[in-house]
Structure 1
Amino acid sequence: MSHTSSLHALGRLLRYARGYRRRIIAATACSIINKLFDIAPEILIGVAIDVVVNQERSFVARLGFETPQEQIMMLGVLTFVIWAGESLFEYLFQILWRNLAQRLQADLRQDAYEHAQRLDMAYFESQSSGQLVATMNDDVNQLERFLDGGANAMIQVGVTVVAVGAVFFVLSPLIALLAFTPIPLIIWGAFFFQRKAGPRYAEVREKVGDLASRLSNNLAGIATIKSFTSEAREAERLRQASEAYVEANRRAIRLSSAFIPVIRMAILTGFLATFTVGGMMALRGDLNVGAYGVLVFLTQRLLWPLTGLAQVIDLFERAMASTRRILDLLAVPITVKDSGEAALPTPVRGAVRFEGVSFRYANSEVGVEGIDLAVPTGHTLALVGATGSGKSTLIKLLLRFYDPAAGRVLIDDRPIEALSLASLRGAIGLVSQDVYLFEGSIRDNIAYGRPDASEDEIIEAAKVAEAWEFIRTLPRGLDTPVGERGVRLSGGQRQRLSLARALLKDPPILVLDEATSAVDNETEAAIQRSLRKIAHGRTVIMIAHRLSTIVHADRIAVIEAGRVVEQGNHAELLAAEGRYAAQWRVQTGSAEADALSVF
């Protein structure tokens, strides 16, 4: 990670922050004015010395203030004005930079999250959730810390060098050259440090993401950790991830800590040159005593802030490493793009058709090949097959989580890629095997697809999903908290709430992806009763391993290795004596037949 790379990241950030240009200019102007006021007292000290030494012949006397007393009073008033101005502009730049930092970090996080929501499912399947959380949270906070103080510090160091340099060259070009001699070394050291520090801080950001991933995964899997009594092993793995982060930081700190002592020695060289050479010139009368005082004080004012350059660059490098990660996330292309135009004509009939659909996951041979299936309005299609055969892939293609490599998917004879995602997904209700409930109440989760639904509508959906019986026995009823991911509810209860959530949406197409695979027989029977009620006039696509749950389907498609190998209703497939019939015998026959299971 080079100096050029960091500047490139800064350029990308400034392009992103175009809408904040006025605020940036205002904050920068306040920083510059504050620093000019900050330097002025050192000049006034030199002028005051000149007044005391030369009195009526002083520089101030030439401005019309004849007596030394008038001159001192004038300097006192000027000092008050300068200190008041410095305080005012310090207040202003603090307010402007800090508010800018807050606004920018909030907008960056929001934009990153909204962009992530639009990214293809393939991206999430290849990325760690912990890395994404670290990018949207810790990396954004790192940039905020730089804008809070580092940006102002960098601007003020530059202003100091320019303004003090101008004063030096006016008073004594020779001493200016001597005082500025260490500055090239300091700047070279800063850039050298930056080149070395860049990769180290990139590693720090990576280790933060690894640590966040470890924490996120362990907390999500705490029940499994406890059941296998693996607490000590997981604590050790977390310790190793934490130590890797500490070690990455240690390598960066070791470099930044070495920078300051080297810079201090360079500064001492410049100060001693001003102190000794300027003093000799003042003794010879070649330099005004007041001017000598100004130069000595300004040398410190010029050089000492440069000791903080390492810390500023430290903040800068951390921020640019984070900025790269944030903007790289924002730059991830969206393959499945929302046309945002056509909508399904109302009323939506819900006829679904797959025409020659083929798709393969990246870096995998798994997928589907040449799928031709049709589900007329109000009919039920069941998909059966072994794990990995491609059943869930068809559902993902229907929802446009992915686009097919060949062929097309149609709803009501409209290609789904021509529809807006809101129209497409609004017409489909999904009940997945892996039920996800959001932290909040039962009411919030059922009404997730229709936040404006009335209580009567929520209760009716719960009744149809056979969830109302257990909900009304709870102390707080619909207002009962479900806990994170629904941990306070049983698997069957979560599945019924998921079904109620889909029913309240009242979609013309209902997709059930292994909706009864993880529930007990009583819950399965309840869900089956619900499905018989809601299937009338609605297109239903079901994925099931238990063939007993799909015997009433209008059409059953058997999928093997991504291809449809059998189609028909239950009776037709049994009569065909193919793979479906064999599996039916396995599931309804003797236990010894389990070894022959193909689905």
Structure 2
Amino acid sequence: MKEHPLKRLLTVARQHRKRVWLAGASSVLNKIFDLAPPALIGAAVDTVVEREDSLIASFGVTDAFDQLVVLAAVTVVIWALESAFEYAAARLWRNLAQTIQHDLRQKAYEHIQDLELKFFHEKSTGSLMAILNDDVNQLERFLDEGANDLLQVATTAIVICGAFFVMAPGVAWMAMLPIPIVLWGSFKFQRLLAPKYARVRERVASLNSQLSNNLSGIATIKSFATEAYESKRIEAESRAYEDANRDAIKLASAFSPLIRMAIVVGFVATLVYGGVLVLDEKLAVGTYSVMVFLTQRLLWPLTRLGRTFDTYQRAMASTQRILDLLETPIEIQSGGLRPEAIHGEIEFQGVDFGYPNRENLLNGFDLKIPAGATLGVVGATGSGKTTLINLLLRFYDPRAGKILVDGTPIEELELDALRRAIGLVSQHVFLFHGTVEENIRYGSEDATLKEIEEVARQAEAMEFVEKLPLGLKTIVGERGETLSGGQRQRISIARALLKNPPILILDEATSAVDNETEAAIQRSLEKISKERTTLIVAHRLSTVRRADSIIVMEHGKITEHGTHEELVDLNGTYARLWRVQTGE
């Protein structure tokens, strides 16, 4: 059974313990000084009625006017202290809320980055965004006000109960009557609300997921004219979120009215019974005044517990989701070896691999690529071409066998060192919203402008970049939407080259470009593949024609291996594909 979310949160945020104590102490002191005015009112009444026999007179101030002056001075000091601690509590709690919000979001994001690709296949982007934004914000809202409210209510109860039993123990128990009912009701409501708010968090994650998915695929939605269909789907998700909230609100809203009825019993009992004691001269008027005021100060704030517990339960449901994410185990751990240089020899030794919940795609797979060689990898969709790249980059680990770089198993290498040694140009180019220069520089932040221009020329990108309105400073838009597919590919190649990696991988880099762009990419490949190990995964055989060697993959196995000329002469699968693509 998992620990309570609050206990787990305190463990995660233990480095802020000192600030929590300071904020808590400020809340308590603020409430203590806030409760002093009723006592001052009682003392003023006592002074006016009793004069030389008042409580203050017992301290040596016998003149009634002097007693009022003393009371005025004490009142100013107390109000100043109350104001100072109110400011301190508000500032400390709000700053603490911002700090913990920032820390949790940052920790969650960094943890997400370290998780393997399998995790992202099982989780939607929208649900992760809901955790990083909405759930973290729910916790912030509670720390902003809710924690302070709970501490102040607790302080109120302790201080006033103590004062009552000192002043008039015979009346005190009447004011205390509603407290057990309030506490029982609070914990009962808390248990009932917890699953309802957990459901609210699930529904908002589902809604965010659908919204994120639709915004990413807006072009597809428009091209299929399915706007009305998608609106209905969003309406259904939003309605489910609304219904989950309504269910929680229905229960949460009942708390204050029910507690209020219990509270009025204690207040009326104190008012009537205390008044009778004053009439019978068994209780001083000043004491009675203080008790009536304090009873109200004790009981009425308890009605706010409903709102506070509502905020608390929302925060705990969100905290549960944040901490569950943080505790998701990282399956692919970095090795500790960081070689001075990587030459680029790659070897697969008896590798077995299958994607989660699927049968093995590779069984006893063997392949060796000499350092500096260019290997073409061709085959039908699903034959295992991209899988080789995923394994080499350690996006996944094999079920059996080893993958070696320069004779060292890649699981022994630091992940950062391994991936920095590999330049990847994917079929699905991802450009960030920013300038052309920023996108080429990505991952090589120390690069100079001269180096950026040089790799752009090598990738044959400078020709079109110079024609852009601001050249390298031109904004490419989200995902590079203002550029053509071929232009994005060439920027991607330049970005990979700027790393100057000993291993370069092109995964279907020419699959979505026209013949002219493909020719430009092939020309650049001849230059950039020199003195580095290059893997070219392609459907278009013209892309791999000049490779040092080519393998043909079918169902996770290498069925043909040789140069372009050797494979054409073999008259097998490669030769058949070549004839189809060249129109022979």
Would you say same fold, with TM above 0.5?
A: yes
The structural deviation recorded for 1:424 is: 0.7
The structural deviation recorded for 1:366 is: 5.5
The structural deviation recorded for 1:98 is: 0.7
Query: Which whole-Å CA distance do the structure 1 matches of 2:385 and 2:277 have between them?
Result: 90
1:523 is aligned to 517
1:54 is aligned to 50
2:339 to 338, 344, 356: 344
2:189 to 184, 193, 198: 193
Alignment of 1:521-560 (within 5 A): 521-560=515-554
Deviation string for 1:210-259 (max 9, x for gaps)? 22212211111111111112222222222222222222111111111111
Q: Which amino acid aligns with 1:228?
A: F
1:596 is aligned to none
Deviation string for 1:409-441 (max 9, x for gaps)? 111111111111121111100000010001100
**Secondary structure at the counterpart of residue 35 of structure 2:** helix
Q: Which amino acid aligns with 2:364?
A: G
1:107 is aligned to 103
1:457 to 444, 451, 457: 451
Q: Please, which runs of 5 or more residues in structure 1 have no aligned partner? A: 591-599
Question: Does 1:245 pair with 2:241?
Answer: yes
Q: Which moved more, 1:239-248 or 1:526-535?
A: 239-248
1:89 to 78, 85, 89: 85
Query: Which whole-Å CA distance do the structure 2 matches of 1:562 and 1:174 have between them?
Result: 87
Question: Does the aligned pair in 2 maintain the 1:366–1:390 contact within 8 Å?
Answer: no
Q: Which amino acid aligns with 1:306?
A: L
**Secondary structure at the counterpart of residue 556 of structure 1:** strand
Question: Does the aligned pair in 1 maintain the 2:352–2:360 contact within 8 Å?
Answer: no
Paired residue total: 584
1:355 is aligned to 349
Percent identity between matched residues is 57
Question: Does the aligned pair in 2 maintain the 1:558–1:564 contact within 8 Å?
Answer: yes
2:371 to 362, 372, 377: 377
Deviation string for 1:170-199 (max 9, x for gaps)? 122232211111111111111111111111
Q: Which amino acid aligns with 2:159?
A: A
**Secondary structure at the counterpart of residue 479 of structure 2:** helix
Q: Which moved more, 1:395-404 or 1:433-442?
A: 395-404
Query: Which whole-Å CA distance do the structure 2 matches of 1:85 and 1:361 have between them?
Result: 65
1:411 is aligned to 405
Query: Which whole-Å CA distance do the structure 2 matches of 1:562 and 1:64 have between them?
Result: 99
Question: Does 1:491 pair with 2:485?
Answer: yes
Question: Does 1:287 pair with 2:286?
Answer: no
Query: Which whole-Å CA distance do the structure 2 matches of 1:368 and 1:303 have between them?
Result: 70
Query: Which whole-Å CA distance do the structure 2 matches of 1:417 and 1:425 have between them?
Result: 12
2:127 is aligned to 131
Q: Which amino acid aligns with 2:124?
A: S
Q: Which amino acid aligns with 1:165?
A: C
Query: Which whole-Å CA distance do the structure 2 matches of 1:565 and 1:182 have between them?
Result: 82
**Secondary structure at the counterpart of residue 345 of structure 1:** coil
Q: Which moved more, 1:298-307 or 1:197-206?
A: 197-206
Question: Does the aligned pair in 1 maintain the 2:553–2:560 contact within 8 Å?
Answer: yes
RMSD of Structure 2 on Structure 1 (CA) = 1.4
The structural deviation recorded for 1:89 is: 0.3
**Secondary structure at the counterpart of residue 95 of structure 2:** helix
Q: Which amino acid aligns with 1:524?
A: E
2:395 is aligned to 401
Q: Which moved more, 1:214-223 or 1:150-159?
A: 214-223
Query: Which whole-Å CA distance do the structure 2 matches of 1:63 and 1:452 have between them?
Result: 75
Q: Please, which runs of 5 or more residues in structure 2 have no aligned partner? A: none
Question: Does 1:507 pair with 2:501?
Answer: yes
2:37 is aligned to 41
1:597 is aligned to none
Question: Does 1:569 pair with 2:563?
Answer: yes
Q: Which amino acid aligns with 2:207?
A: L
1:434 to 407, 410, 428: 428
Question: Does 1:184 pair with 2:191?
Answer: no
The structural deviation recorded for 1:540 is: 0.5
The structural deviation recorded for 1:361 is: 1.5
Alignment of 1:109-188 (within 5 A): 109-188=105-184
Question: Does the aligned pair in 2 maintain the 1:344–1:424 contact within 8 Å?
Answer: no
